[in-house]
């Protein structure tokens, strides 16, 4: 399923393991265990798609296709700032940066204070950047990963895959 996560070209080689995934999923008893079999499969596919998008090492002509390269990186590449927006509620720690780390890629100092649950949709994850302004290649990339995992799990995609015309969450 995660064909190239241990490829020598991937900085996260050896970092993401099946056992770690099972342990993390076990910490959230409702993850992939609620609803019909199709709903459960779609939830797992959605999680893998969102996290694969955030950790991808794929490119358009990559071996096995661009969507076979999820879980290649474990931190944001090319961060151009420390992602700190000072506020009284979420103060920035001196000398710290808040660039995306891990497959959920929490960035910004405010994200460090509140972690979203599994099964989040693109609009919740990155709506202010990717949603509400028509087609966006990043959203299409997330959808590509999602469709790949749904195909592997032999489940239909469901409806409303994009957020092109949705108002971003504030």
At residue 106, φ and ψ (nearest 5 deg) are -65, 125
Catalytic residue check, 54? yes
Query: Of 43, 54, 76, 130, which one is the catalytic site residue?
Result: 54
Catalytic residues: 54
């Amino acid at each position: 399923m995660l064909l190239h996560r241990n490829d020598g070209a991937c900085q996260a080689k050896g970092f993401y393991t099946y056992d770690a995934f099972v342990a993390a999923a076990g910490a959230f008893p409702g993850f992939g265990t609620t609803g019909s079999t199709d709903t459960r499969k779609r939830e797992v596919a959605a999680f893998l798609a969102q996290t694969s998008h955030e950790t991808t090492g794929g490119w358009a002509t990559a071996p096995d296709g661009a969507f076979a390269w999820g879980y290649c990186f474990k931190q944001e590449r090319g961060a151009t700032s420390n992602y700190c927006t000072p506020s009284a509620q979420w103060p920035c720690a001196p000398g710290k940066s808040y660039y995306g780390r891990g497959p959920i890629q929490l960035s910004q100092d405010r994200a460090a204070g509140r972690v979203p649950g599994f099964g989040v949709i693109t609009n919740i994850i990155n709506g202010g950047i990717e949603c509400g302004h028509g087609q966006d290649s990043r959203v299409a990339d997330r959808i590509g990963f999602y469709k790949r995992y749904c195909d592997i799990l032999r489940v239909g995609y469901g409806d409303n895959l994009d957020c092109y015309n949705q108002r971003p969450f504030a």
